[in-house]
A and B are shown apart, each in its own frame.
Chain A
Amino acid sequence: NAGVMQNPRHLVRRRGQEARLRCSPMKGHSHVYWYRQLPEEGLKFMVYLQKENIIDESGMPKERFSAEFPKEGPSILRIQQVVRGDSAAYFCASSPALQTPGELFFGEGSRLTVL
């Protein structure tokens, strides 16, 4: 039973390019969360999605960032026109439903470096 799969594990972009991060939740999980971890900091919530729906995007910057979780395929976190401040580790987590609230299963993260 594969865990949460994130790719790419490492991504290097130049300022102004686009970054696209993918997350495949664990089998049977319908809830996906994205968190960002800046160097030497904790994890900050970005967005919470269920299939085809954004439930809460209060932690995501209003500009340049978007997320989706289509009916088929992985969840995508997209960052347009990246800037140096976007350099961070982006973690995806999934959960089956709310019967075990807060018990999230994390991927190993995608580490974005913006040159």
Chain B
Amino acid sequence: AQSVTQPDIHITVSEGASLELRCNYSYGATPYLFWYVQSPGQGLQLLLKYFSGDTLVQGIKGFEAEFKRSQSSFNLRKPSVHWSDAAEYFCAVFGAGNMLTFGGGTRLMVKP
């Protein structure tokens, strides 16, 4: 069965600073990987996805993520964080059973 680990429960960065959120997955085959964002009291919105091909994928809102098979990682990055990026971020893998398995999430706080 697949699993996803997000090692950082909370991260605080200053506005304008760079951001990297970590994600490690476990899945036997080539994974389909996703990052979703959840604003308080809201549902989840897809930021970006990796299916195959170029290991660096671009998403919405200036986010990107890099798939590294050797490290089983799919870390999310943004060069300059905005206050509106404060939210909870979930990494997910789509695999067996045609379902998305989510990590525990990383809550991002942005300091002015």
Contacts and interface: CB of A to CB of B under 8 A. Distances in A.
Contacts of A93: 44, 100
Interface size range of chain B in the complex = 20 to 34
Interface in A12-60: 33, 35, 41-45, 48, 55-56, 58
A41 B102 CA distance: 10
Contact of A102 (B32, B103, B104, B105): B32
Given A103-B46, A103-B49, A106-B44, A42 B98 contact: no
A43 B97 contact: no
Interface of A: 4, 33, 35, 41-45, 48, 55-56, 58, 91, 93, 98, 101-109
A59 B90 CA distance: 19
A33 B43 contact: no
Interface of B: 6, 32, 34, 36, 41-46, 49, 90, 92-94, 97-105
28 contacts: A4-B43, A33-B100, A35-B102, A41-B104, A41-B105, A42-B90, A42-B103, A42-B104, A45-B101, A48-B97, A48-B98, A48-B99, A55-B98, A56-B97, A56-B98, A91-B44, A98-B98, A101-B32, A102-B32, A102-B34, A102-B92, A102-B100, A103-B49, A106-B44, A107-B43, A108-B41, A108-B42, A109-B43
Contacts of B46: 103-105
